[in-house]
Amino acid sequence: MAAPPFPDRLVQLVLIAIIIVALLALYFLLKGRPKPAPWQGHPAGGSYTPAPDGEPVRHWSDGGRFELEVVGESRYRDTIQALAGDHGEGKADARHPALLLPDDANPYEDKAVAVFLSGRMVGYLAPKDALAFRQMLARHEIDGKPTSTDAAVRGGGTWEGKRLAYSVWLDVSLTG
């Protein structure tokens, strides 16, 4: 097979050069791109804890079912472990009074509901649960007010010599 005529070969070389230059320009454009600034709404140090204000206006009960789980407990692991108490190798089932606090000032979630056990922060309701809880507060005409319920700290048993995680469950039905 004979080599292509001179003009076709020149066109191929020019196209290859254009592709190489474009790839190099793209690489340097993406490499030199400044990183976006962190969201300015986050508090310094990355932590935030609401301050309960006032007494609970209502106490919720779902007959001891404890079916509403608190999320974000990993941030409060040490507090929850202390609240679980001494339970040896078995699983914990420690009961505590809980405060549910609509957290309108939360910089991360606009409809957050903070959960405190025995006066100590242990997490939040999941976003969909927080929205349902706030709707329930509105139905009872106590929007934004702190309320209470009973809570159970469960888990923490040992398996293969390691302590399992704890979870916090609330005695609240979101349909009430």
**Interior angle at CA 71, CA 173 and CA 111, nearest 5:** 70
Summarised one tens digit per residue, pLDDT across range 51-90 is 887 899 999 999 999 999 999 888 899 999 999 999 988 8
Q: Which top CATH class is 59-170?
A: alpha beta
Helix (H), strand (E) at residue 169: strand 166-170
The distance from CA 94 to its chain's CA centroid, rounded to whole angstroms, is 24
Question: Coil, strand, or helix at residue 78?
Answer: helix
SS3 43: coil
What are the domain boundaries of the chain? 59-170
Residue 159 has pLDDT above 60, yes or no: yes
CA 83, CA 122: separation in Å to the nearest integer? 10
**Model confidence band, residue 5 (pLDDT cutoffs 50, 70, 90):** low
CA-CA distance, 16 to 143, in Å (whole number)?
A: 66
